[in-house]
Structure 1
Amino acid sequence: MDGNHSAGKCPVMHGGQTSNKNSVTSWWPNALNLDILHQHDTKTQPFGATYNYREELKKLDVEALKQDLRDLMKNSQEWWPADWGSYVGMFARVAWHAAGSYRLADGRGGAGTGNQRFAPLNSWPDNVNTDKGRRLLWPIKKKYGNKVSWADLMILSGTIAYEVAGLKTFGFAFGREDIWHPEKDIYWGAEREWLAPSDNRYEDVTKPDTMENPLAAVQMGLIYVNPEGVNGKPDPMATAAQVRETFARMAMNDEETAALTAGGHTIGKSHGNGSAANLSADPEAADVEYQGIGWLNTKGRSIGRDQVVSGIEGAWTKNPTQWDMGYFDMLFGYEWELTKSPAGAWQYKPVDIKEEDMPVDVEDPSIRCMPMMTDADMAMKVDPIYNAICHKFMADPEYFSETFARAWFKLTHRDMGPKARYIGPDVPAEDLIWQDPIPAGATGYDVAGLKTAIAASGLSLTDMVNTAWDSARTYRGSDMRGGANGARIRLAPQKDWAGNEPERLARVLSVLEPLAAQFGASVADTIVLAGNVGIEQAAKAAGHDIDVPFAPGRGDATDEQTDADSFDALEPIHDGFRNWQKRDYVVSAEEMLLDRAQLMGLTAHEMTVLLGGMRAMGTNHGGTKHGVFTDREGALTTDFFVNLTDMANTWHPVGDGIYEIRDRKTGAVKWTASRVDLVFGSNSILRAYAEIYAQDDGQDAFLKAFVDAWTKVMNADRFDLA
């Protein structure tokens, strides 16, 4: 034995790669973590650089796939038997819970990436047994391979489930590309315990609108609300208020919310016929012999009538595999009283129910079982607004079916972005306002002539660059909303956002809009082209002649094509690139910069080069001078990086997040800076990038990298260029 190793000690390092116990961040928990900027590194994608999912989809036999899913709905498997011989409830839930994590505030969550396959979502308490649904889908995924993503397959399975149940669905679009690594940097809440009381998410738990942004679910590990009531205490009126706020944060109105609740509970059942204490670990925590399957009943069969999922037990309707009006018949046809499930969960049972109205047992049709309602269901009855909507549905079953079908389509497609990204034979022809429709833009106009006219317009470099940036920076790759296409910066609510400097914006638009009309270009194209003109002028001032790439074809949206309330969520409350934030926040300015950069799809080095270049050009909000480390303001130089890294300087806080940079010898103040500026010198990773451009040979690399990153931002929402 090697004398350098004590007996029994494993010579291989372990733990550091597989847990956070020995991670760098555990040693320095307050260090800026840049991991979110590399969340889906190309190294995790297994297909190579030439793989194109949209091209693979062209090879897919869509009708054969749909038929295989229809067959699956009725082919009960011995290892995981179907309730009543049908999987429609199972796959409606798989799709629902994949899509239901979407939140409007930052566009994160949702079904667009297949993230339900990974932690934390694969092991959320509210996602119990969705792992079984994915395993039931595996033979179909195996058959069609890379021609269909897990993300598309899971949502299609839920849509087909409703079709098999008897609903005429609104449509379906392919186009969701899988990720291959957990989205571990998404903020799902500060709790360190599953299903911890929701009080910490609210300033006042009795006022649902005080829930912490960007969260939507009321507790850690839930998709929506607690079905037993607020913090597990039954109170349908209080639950109704939480339902309304949570669904609004998912971009749903009251009618859509009521339709989704009723339609979601028209098929399937809840499972709580046993003790949750007997379940094995969740998939992520289960040992290797479980092979990624979790929540198995260690003291029972764990299948059929013996499943424990939510802890609530029973079906909502008499015919839980059929699309009908049974939910309303049950909810409004009976009075309900509070009771507990065999698992000890609060639920409601009907008073004096007729035996013929009871659903049959999932395994033995000779046995009738008691139906149930949750606190969220009772909310539909006691809340006057939801009650009125439900009675409207009851009076017109076709209207209910259509409303649900549209709401289901919205739920399962909301995070896909504009319809330009939709693929497949079942894409609805109708343009929906939540898809942020944009008319096609012209491409045949005189681009060179328009550039010349913009340059001669009298607009300053900062006028042009800032307007283009403000228009484009709204893009977020989380749900593919925002961006320069559509020129919505000239419409409500964007034209009045503080971050867009409304007075300056109105003045710039008064110059650019007539030029757009003169040349037959869209305002959206003209804004971006003006930004490019400004970049080219700044480069020339630094001694370089460059051409910034430009692709015409953006369109101009109208007020009628813009859901102003929905766009409120895109308002920037901070922009580190322009050294601005609306007010002081608990989160540091540099962390907010990372969040914005990640939503825009930027890497750490793209973020670095853009910020440094914009400081050199003097594009700060309101014209402030923080971070403008140059005596050549307006020139696209590397001065920000050169002077930031110069050890002839010292750095001193002076209050309110502002710092002075002083000459080391004389003590004279040379510049001022914000935390966002100085983090590029203090953070070891960002400093490494900054030093590249501070080098004597860094100017050419800087210009190329800046133009590439700028063009990426300007074209981020140009899905027609993909």
Structure 2
Amino acid sequence: MTQNNSSGGKCPVMHGANTTSSQSVTGWWPESINLDILHQHDGKTNPMDEGFDYREEVRKLDFDAIKQDLHALMTDSQEWWPADWGHYGGFMIRMAWHSAGTYRMADGRGGGGSGNQRFAPIASWPDNASLDKARRLLWPIKKKYGNKISWADLMILAGNVAYESMGLKTFGFSFGREDIWHPEKDIYWGAEKEWLAPSDERYEDVGKPETMENPLAAVQMGLIYVNPEGVNGKPDPMKTAAQVRETFARMAMDDEETAALTVGGHTVGKCHGNGDAGALGAEPEGSDVVGQGLGWDNPNMQGRASNAITSGIEGAWTTEPTKFDMGYFDMLLDHEWEQKKSPAGASQWEPVDIKEEDKPVDASDPSIRHNPIMTDADMGMKVDPTYRKILEGFRKDPERFQDAFARAWFKLTHRDMGPKSRYIGPEVPDEDLIWQDPIPAGPTDYIEEVVKEKIADAGLSISDMVSTAWDSARTFRGSDLRGGANGARIRLAPQKDWAGNEPERLARILTVYEQISADTGASIADVIVLGGSVGVEKAAKAAGYEVHVPFLKGRGDATDEMTDAESFDVLEPVADGFRNWQKQNYVVKPEELLLDRAQLMGLTATQMTVLIGGMRVLGTNHGGTKHGVFTDREGQLTNDFFVNLTDMSYSWKSVGENLYEVRDRKTDQKKWTATRVDLVFGSHSILRSYAEVYAQDDNHEKFVRDFVSAWAKVMNSDRFDVPA
């Protein structure tokens, strides 16, 4: 047969052009900033109808019915993926745990709040082996209840019901997690280029867990927490315990919560490593179409649950792994343990001596018993003095342990949902928890215009008013819905002392605002935001435009007692390109830090652009610096920043680290100074296209209108107590 080389016989698509391995359009220039992070959940990826509101739809769900269906699922073992001991509880708990367990406190990213486990890379992490089957087991329930239950809610709910079916009285549950429809591929999970690469790469010193690179929390690429075989796969319980402590702390857990979660997580279920791990097929993302989204095909499973392979470790922790009981304590603390190898070759710990009746039965054949196992992390609980003391205390008081675990599990699965006001459903706990950042309801019976008049007459500059409102609101991060202006925590520790908030200036302005609050009945939080409105409206008027900044009453004032000050440390800005400030110089470029903050605040690239241009001409730079203030009319809301940035009568010259001069081409006289954050809006092709729009002679009014809209978005991002 001769090959057809005519144009009609050729493949009409360049091979690889539409796969993730293909060269991206901008891949030729790796130093150019990528704005995709600001649009990673663009509406074009969402298949739902315009106007669909999941948080309204879920309220129509028959909560009792779906829980009944989930309870039934737990013991409805399927031939295509049989359940251990005929109970899927441990499997569903692991799925929920690994969905929520990606959360990290440093930037609030990860967690179970978006259903991200359905997508790469997380769906194909080695630590998530076989969880594709857990989600597939849930599909009939998702199909039945449809739009009334998100995948994000369903995965966490399945874990909750699994615990209940095994005997735990859970602390509660909230619905309200909204699904994403595209991978969050721009989240930084580490620099490693291969799965489970040695963890040395993300530490300055792997022997000092606190030196792990921020904002990472897991110890290796592709793991949720720590390597269960030990540091870099080498058993050493004390070293592993140190890594456990650090990684759980980075996930917002203290020692008692960490110990409770470890015990409660390993009280049920088992590890899987009964066979040749090398025989497994590719992960879901690397599998062929015949797999239909399933990965890790096990040719040796032969329809037996006991032949499954995931972590490579093999065995259960307790005698009765389908019951939530105190068996873990007895097993770990009452036996001596020695290192062994699983059938898959993984390092694990097994008891030196144990009665036959204390061994768990085989996951498929109840006539066979096997040794229980412990991971290196479990052994760390035994040998670390702090963890050991906590476990001994739990063992003496089972009710205290069950309550501690139930609370820690609730925190793990709800940490990224934001304040309690966002919780939905009949099982929302009444108790306010400090990690929910509680804020009391604020007054609404004051007269807004009276407050604004008092602010306008207080002798504050536009910079004072706008900068203070911005500093209060900029802490908001959409990743875990923490921070923001509501609560006025800018006046409390630690925020009042942050260098980025200019403490002396802040204290002076807060003194004025506190008096206005006392005189008018408005909360300090509302006064701060209204101060920003007054500043913006005054600056717009000076530029010839009458505007009204949209405002929502009702912010409350949090107290020190409502504030876990230590947990707010991670919200401290180390850089704020909007106010042209960095705490110090970093390896990361200033414009990359700007993108990160803009993404956490939920801003689009155009909103980021217009806010930068407006804040420069309003004179809001940290410390009053003049970098990027490309105007002779500072304090007026003009488009001068963009006009002068794009004016070719000027040239640009580097005069120091992150410092530039803007010079007149004819006279070579310095006109302005600038930073990289300023000049990137002229150098980056996409950002320049936005800057040119705002620099046009016919778009001054559009600039003012867009600035006010973006400003209001920032001020109201954390107002979950009012309709969107």
Structure 1-normalised TM-score?
0.99
- Stretches of structure 2 lacking an aligned partner (at least 5 in a row): none
Where does residue 629 of structure 1 map in the other structure?
630
Q: State the one-letter code of the partner of 1:298.
A: P
Answering whether residue 367 of structure 2 is matched by residue 366 of structure 1, we say: yes
Residue by residue over 1:25-53, the C-alpha shift from the partner in whole angstroms, topping out at 9 and shown as x without a partner, is 32111111000000100111111221011
1:260-275 equivalent positions in 2, closer than 5 A: 260-275=261-276
Answering whether residue 431 of structure 2 is matched by residue 439 of structure 1, we say: no
TM-superposed deviation, 1:302: 6.7
- 8 Å contact from structure 2 (residues 319, 360) kept in 1: yes
- The 1:302/1:650 distance shift into structure 2, 3 A limit, reads farther
Q: State the one-letter code of the partner of 2:315.
A: G
Where does residue 210 of structure 2 map in the other structure?
209
Residue by residue over 1:466-507, the C-alpha shift from the partner in whole angstroms, topping out at 9 and shown as x without a partner, is 000000000000000000000000000000000000000000
Q: Partners of 1:398 and 1:355 in 2: how far apart?
A: 29
Aligned residue for 1:607, secondary structure, equals: helix
Where does residue 533 of structure 2 map in the other structure?
532
- 8 Å contact from structure 2 (residues 300, 307) kept in 1: no
- The 1:209/1:278 distance shift into structure 2, 3 A limit, reads same
TM-superposed deviation, 1:446: 1.1
- The 1:302/1:600 distance shift into structure 2, 3 A limit, reads farther
Q: Partners of 1:303 and 1:152 in 2: how far apart?
A: 30
Q: State the one-letter code of the partner of 1:202.
A: Y
Structure 2-normalised TM-score?
0.99
Aligned residue for 2:654, secondary structure, equals: strand
Q: Partners of 2:142 and 2:50 in 1: how far apart?
A: 22
- 8 Å contact from structure 1 (residues 5, 11) kept in 2: no
Q: State the one-letter code of the partner of 2:143.
A: K
Q: Partners of 1:299 and 1:359 in 2: how far apart?
A: 23
Where does residue 614 of structure 1 map in the other structure?
615
Q: State the one-letter code of the partner of 2:397.
A: D
Where does residue 61 of structure 1 map in the other structure?
62
TM-superposed deviation, 1:17: 3.1
Q: Partners of 1:25 and 1:243 in 2: how far apart?
A: 39
TM-superposed deviation, 1:303: 4.2
CA root-mean-square deviation:
1.3
Q: Partners of 1:520 and 1:75 in 2: how far apart?
A: 59
Q: Partners of 2:531 and 2:122 in 1: how far apart?
A: 43
Where does residue 318 of structure 1 map in the other structure?
319
Q: Partners of 1:692 and 1:4 in 2: how far apart?
A: 48
TM-superposed deviation, 1:22: 2.1
Q: Partners of 2:696 and 2:15 in 1: how far apart?
A: 39
Where does residue 288 of structure 2 map in the other structure?
287
Q: Partners of 2:498 and 2:417 in 1: how far apart?
A: 25
1:232-631 equivalent positions in 2, closer than 5 A: 232-301=233-302, 303-631=304-632
Residue by residue over 1:624-662, the C-alpha shift from the partner in whole angstroms, topping out at 9 and shown as x without a partner, is 010000000111100000000011111111111111111
Aligned residue for 2:26, secondary structure, equals: helix
Q: State the one-letter code of the partner of 1:354.
A: K
TM-superposed deviation, 1:3: 11
Residue by residue over 1:220-243, the C-alpha shift from the partner in whole angstroms, topping out at 9 and shown as x without a partner, is 000000000000010000001000
Q: State the one-letter code of the partner of 1:589.
A: P
**Higher deviation after alignment, 52-61 or 282-291:** 52-61
**Higher deviation after alignment, 506-515 or 52-61:** 52-61
Residue by residue over 1:495-534, the C-alpha shift from the partner in whole angstroms, topping out at 9 and shown as x without a partner, is 0000000000000001001101110110000000000000
Where does residue 111 of structure 1 map in the other structure?
112
Answering whether residue 698 of structure 2 is matched by residue 692 of structure 1, we say: no
Q: State the one-letter code of the partner of 2:58.
A: L
- 8 Å contact from structure 1 (residues 296, 302) kept in 2: no
Q: Partners of 1:89 and 1:60 in 2: how far apart?
A: 26
- The 1:530/1:209 distance shift into structure 2, 3 A limit, reads same
- Stretches of structure 1 lacking an aligned partner (at least 5 in a row): none
Q: Partners of 1:9 and 1:73 in 2: how far apart?
A: 52
Residue by residue over 1:207-257, the C-alpha shift from the partner in whole angstroms, topping out at 9 and shown as x without a partner, is 000000000000000000000000001000000100000000000000000
**Higher deviation after alignment, 44-53 or 265-274:** 44-53
Q: State the one-letter code of the partner of 1:465.
A: V
Aligned residue for 2:103, secondary structure, equals: coil
Residue by residue over 1:259-311, the C-alpha shift from the partner in whole angstroms, topping out at 9 and shown as x without a partner, is 00000000000000112110000001100000010111134427411111000
Aligned residue for 1:660, secondary structure, equals: strand
Answering whether residue 170 of structure 2 is matched by residue 169 of structure 1, we say: yes
Equivalent pairs: percent with the same residue? Answer: 72
- 8 Å contact from structure 2 (residues 59, 424) kept in 1: no
Where does residue 224 of structure 2 map in the other structure?
223
Residue by residue over 1:400-427, the C-alpha shift from the partner in whole angstroms, topping out at 9 and shown as x without a partner, is 0000000000000000010111000000
Aligned residue for 2:350, secondary structure, equals: strand
Q: Partners of 1:14 and 1:454 in 2: how far apart?
A: 64
TM-superposed deviation, 1:4: 9.7
Where does residue 719 of structure 1 map in the other structure?
720
Where does residue 92 of structure 1 map in the other structure?
93
Where does residue 157 of structure 1 map in the other structure?
158
Residue by residue over 1:340-391, the C-alpha shift from the partner in whole angstroms, topping out at 9 and shown as x without a partner, is 1111111000011100100000111010111100000000000000000000
**Higher deviation after alignment, 50-59 or 617-626:** 50-59
